[in-house]
Amino acid sequence: MEQSQARDVAKRTIDNVKKVIIGKDWAVELAVTALLSQGHILIKDIPGVGKTMLGKSLAQSIDCVFRRIQLTPDMLPSDITGVSVFNQQTGEFVFRPGPILAQIVLADEINRATPKTQSALLEALAERQVTVDGTTHSITRPFMLIATENPIEHGGVFALPEAQLDRFMMRIQLGYPSFEDEMSIIDRQRIQHPIESLGVVASADEVTGAQEAVKGIFVQHRVQRYMVTLVYATRKHDSVMLGASPRASLDLFRSSQALALLRGRDYVIPDDVKELAVVVMGHRVIAAPAARMNGVDGCQIVEDVVAHVAVPYARADDWVAPR
């Protein structure tokens, strides 16, 4: 697929999702950026702001199979991955796939599941497959997991381990709508919810083609070095206990390519990297205990790193791929 066609697929999808998600243009763009980058997103936000609708409208826009997993403490790993059931007529075991074997999956309230159940998601997040009873089952592309987490719940929840956080490309927030946006939400849902009439604007094959096109976006060596310098600086920060991993460098690289595509360029500039640095690295960086006592978190550390790491300087033409 040509990059211009991929950009058209992305724009159609964004405009369609915006019919449901009102006033959160940047969050919608980030979700589509992650989709084009073959990444997953974690939405840590207050109840009722549209986390579920974001995933549902995205799946409906691109004609993909959507499944929702309502995670609870009593849920087992097999409830997510699937189970092999013995068929008495054939004398063989038949695999019944779990909800993770869809294309757009919403893992609602992921921190309510036990660590054992959360671990069932790790293989799917990293390798886009699940293994049940020694048999590996691939997940149909495009595949994206959208996990939600309620930040104000403290009882009966289990913190996400660092290994799992690292597998999410981005952590985003929707937040409360503005006064005018909330008025618009009420008006649009007076008769029916916009999701009920939301049409399909792209196919799953078009999305996978766009994902391949993103890989062709040019990244100049100095921009690539700037990405790695930012990631490396999180590991050396005075307030950090755990810095961003090499997977963060890869995710920052790929998401910057996708954002450049959305911006109408076939090359990445440092501003693309700066826009994405906090949402890509903030949840991976763990502040030291003393820093946390002073209210410092991973996002603030990344913001400080972005503010102090020198941005590579060049003329605009220097970022463009050689002809």
Please state, in angstroms and as integers, the Cα–Cα distance from residue 308 to each residue in 103, 143, 234, 284, following that order. 40, 36, 11, 19
Residue 150's CB is within 10 A of a number of other CB atoms, namely: 18
Q: Among 40, 271, 54, which Cα is nearest to 170's?
A: 40
Per-residue confidence at 245, pLDDT binned at 50, 70, 90?
very high
Nearest Cα neighbor of 145 from 97, 173, 107 is 107
Reported as half-sphere exposure (CB side, CA atoms, 13 A), residue 259 has a value of 26
* pLDDT tens profile 132-189: 888 888 998 999 999 998 776 656 677 788 888 899 999 998 888 899 988 998 888 8
- What's the half-sphere exposure (Cβ side, CA atoms, 13 Å) at 278? 12
Q: In this structure, how many other beta carbons lie within 10 angstroms of the beta carbon of residue 315?
A: 7
Question: In 10 A of CB 31, how many CB atoms?
Answer: 26
Given a cut of 90, whether residue 116 has pLDDT beyond it is no
What architecture is domain 216-323? Orthogonal Bundle (1.10)
Give the integer Cα–Cα distance in Å for 115 and 111.
Answer: 9
Position 317 scores a pLDDT of: 65
Q: How far apart are CA 10 and CA 201, in angstroms?
A: 10
Number of residues that this document lists for the chain: 323
Stretch among 13-27, 88-102, 285-299 having the lowest mean pLDDT: 88-102
Round the average pLDDT of the chain to a whole number and report it.
Answer: 89
Q: Decide if 277 contacts 306 (C-beta within 8 A).
A: yes
Distance, in Å, from the CA atom of 267 to the CA atom of 259, rounded to the nearest integer, reads 10
Q: Are 127 and 148 in contact (CB under 8 A)?
A: no
pLDDT above 70 (res 101)? yes
Q: Residue 205 above 70 pLDDT? A: yes
What is the rounded distance in angstroms from the CA atom of residue 59 to the CA atom of residue 57?
5
Closest Cα to residue 10, out of 26, 31, 27, 24? 31
Rounded to an integer, the average pLDDT of 212-231 is: 94
The Cα 211–Cα 216 span in angstroms is 10
- The pTM for the full model equals 0.90
* pLDDT above 80 (res 322): no
Interatomic CA distance for residues 301 and 283, integer angstroms: 11
pLDDT band at 309 (very low <50, low <70, confident <90, very high): very high
Amino acid at 299: C
Bridge-based pairing state of the strands 286-287 and 240-242: antiparallel
**pLDDT tops 80 at residue 69:** yes
CATH topology of domain 1-214: Rossmann fold (3.40.50)
Q: What percentage of the chain carries pLDDT values higher than 70?
A: 96
Domain locations along the chain: 1-214, 216-323
- Is-contact 60 193, C-beta < 8 A? no
pLDDT tier, 111 (very low <50, low <70, confident <90, very high otherwise): confident
pLDDT in the model for residue 114: 85
What pLDDT is recorded for position 150? 77
Residue 37: its pLDDT value, please? 95
Instruction: State the alpha helices, DSSP H only, in 18-85.
Output: 25-36, 51-61, 78-81
